[in-house]
Amino acid sequence: MSSELRLKKLRGSGGYIMATVTDEQQVKGNLGGPDLFLAPIGRLNDDKITKHFCNTCEKEFEGPPKIEFENPNEEVAENLVLAERGQYICKVCNASIAEYREFKKPNEEEEVGGAKPLDANVAPAVEPPTLPKAETAPVAETAPVAETAPLVEVTQPSSSASVSSIEGRAVIDENANKVGIAKQVGVDANTQSMVLVITKNDGTEGSIPWTSIKKVGEVILLGKPEEAVVTQPGKCSECGFVNKDESKFCEDCGTKI
C-alpha cells in the first residue's frame, strides 16, 4: 500500500481538521461513507495539520488545534489495554473537536476476555433490564432500529446496572475495535426486544441488540449472542410469583406477563 501523504478533511463530532495522512490512515478513517473521520485514526502530529474548524466558533482557523492526551495503559478487559485517550480541542473556545481512544491487545493471538468492572458494586456481566410498567415508561423518538423502527426509552430498568451507569462507556467489538459510545437503553418497537443505543464513531446514532453484549465493565464488550435462557412459564419477571400459564397479568403484583 502506498505511503504517499494526501491532504484530507477528517471529521469529528465538534468540527474537522485538514491534515496530510497516509493511505493506511485513510483506511482507518473510512467508516463506509464518503467522509473520513478522525476518531479511528487517533493522534496526528501538529506538523501534519494545516487547518481546523470548530462547530462552536463556526469558524475555520489556520494551523492545528490543541491536542491533549494521556497514556493510562489500563487493562480494561482480559487481553485488552487502553493505551491512549485524548481529544482535539479548539484553541479559541476550548470546545472539543474530536475524541479518540486507542486500544491494544497484548497478545494478538488470544481473544479479548471479560471486562474489568468499574468498582465492586458493578457486576462484570449485566442481564437485559426488565421493562418498566407501561404507565411509567415515557416514549421518546430516537434513532430508528435498522432505519425503520423508533425506540422507546427505558428510564427505570430493574437490572443491577442502571442506564446512567453505562452511558458514556466505550463499546468494543470482539476484534478490539471501538465501534462507538453507549448512550442509552431502548426497545425495538417491532420486536419489543432490548437494544443498546450508541453514538457511532462517525457521530451518528445506531443500536445494538442487547443479546450481542458480552460483558459490561470499564468498557462494553460485544460478542456472539448468548442462547436464550429458558424461563419458567407464568413466572413474573417483577416479583417472581409463578402464575397460571394462561395469565396475562401477575396475580400477585399485577405486572403484565
Q: What is the band of 103 on the pLDDT scale with cuts at 50, 70, 90?
A: confident
Tell me which of 43-57, 70-84, 114-128, 217-231 is least confident. 114-128
Q: Is the pLDDT of residue 211 over 50?
A: yes
Using CA atoms, how far residue 210 sits from 104, 118, 143, 244, in Å, is: 25, 20, 16, 29
Residue 33 contacts residue 12 (beta carbons within 8 Å)? no
- Enumerate long-range contacts of 163-169, CB under 8 Å, 24 or more apart: 163/129, 165/118, 165/122, 166/126, 166/196, 166/216, 166/220, 169/216, 169/218, 169/219, 169/220
What pLDDT shows up at residue 229? 41
What pLDDT shows up at residue 18? 97
Round the average pLDDT of the chain to a whole number and report it.
75
Tell me which of 42-46, 181-185, 189-193 is least confident. 189-193
What pLDDT shows up at residue 153? 38
Q: What is the band of 120 on the pLDDT scale with cuts at 50, 70, 90?
A: very low
pTM over 0.75: no
Higher pLDDT, 121 or 82: 82
What pLDDT shows up at residue 246? 76
User: Who's near 2: CB < 8 A, 6+ residues apart?
Assistant: 22, 23
| CATH superfamily of the domain spanning 134-222 | PRC-barrel domain (2.30.30.240)
pLDDT per position as a tens digit, 41-73: 999 999 999 999 999 999 999 999 999 999 999
Q: What is the band of 212 on the pLDDT scale with cuts at 50, 70, 90?
A: confident
Strand partners, 178: 172
Query: Per mean pLDDT, which of 29-38, 53-62, 228-237 is the most reliable?
Result: 53-62
Higher pLDDT, 75 or 53: 53
